[in-house]
Amino acid sequence: MADEQTLDEQNLNAEAAGDELSTRVQVLEEQLAAAQDQSLRTAADLQNVRRRAEQDVEKAHKFALEKFAGDLLPVIDSLERGLELSSAEDESIRPMREGIELTLKMFHDTLKRYNLEAIDPHGEPFNAELHQAMAMQESADVEPNSVLKVFQKGYQLNGRLLRPAMVVVSKAPAPVSPSIDEKA
């Protein structure tokens, strides 16, 4: 009987050890699943950080010239105004005009090389995203909300607006009201 009791005690001890081991295995499996989940999350976070960094570098390359280009625009405006205000027929300033025209052409070629594009919307429909209306003027000759005059060209750098074009926009003529003499 003592052997039988010892056998029962051994079986109970073995079952207890088995339960303890299965509980320990379950705890370890849960910890492993949590560690794997954490590892996947960390890898995803790292991938997102890399992607954002690549996008930031791409934007930095694409728009690094934004401030510099913006500072050059008044120089281009001044050269264009100089050409507008000088007479092409005046022989005494012809060499100066030619110099300004060549300088302006070099500026435009350089800007084009760096994806800086002028916005000259004369005659086009008004676009609030690219144009800034400085005034409205009645006109029967063109459609309402068309650009009649460009005070200052706008510019885009790689498709991003650097400066809006300053324009005068057309509006429909006001209806003519009958005068007092016509009513009588």
Looking up tokens 């280009």, which residue turns up? 69
**What's the confidence (pLDDT) of residue 67?**
87
Does 3.30.365.10 match the CATH number of domain 65-171?
A: no
C-alpha 171 chain-centroid distance: 31
The residues, any chain, with a CB within 8 Å of residue 97's CB and separated by 6 or more, are: 83, 86, 88
Distance CA 129, CA 178 (A): 39
Prediction pTM value:
0.64
- Of the pLDDT bands very low, low, confident and very high (cuts 50, 70, 90), residue 1 is low
The average pLDDT across 143-168 equals 93
**What's the confidence (pLDDT) of residue 174?**
78
Amino acid identity, residue 100? I
Domain ranges of the chain: 1-63, 65-171
pLDDT of residue 131 exceeding 60, the answer is yes
Distance CA 165, CA 29 (A): 65
| 130: helix, strand or coil | coil
- What tokens were used for 58? 């791409």
Of the CA atoms within 13 Å of residue 143, those in its CB half-sphere come to: 7
Per-residue model confidence as pLDDT tens digits over 46-80: 999 999 999 888 887 777 888 888 899 999 999 99
**What's the confidence (pLDDT) of residue 181?**
56
Of the candidates 173, 172, 111, 162, the residue with the CA atom closest to the CA atom of residue 132: 162
Contact by Cβ (8 Å): 154, 131: yes
The average pLDDT across 31-43 equals 92
**What's the confidence (pLDDT) of residue 180?**
59
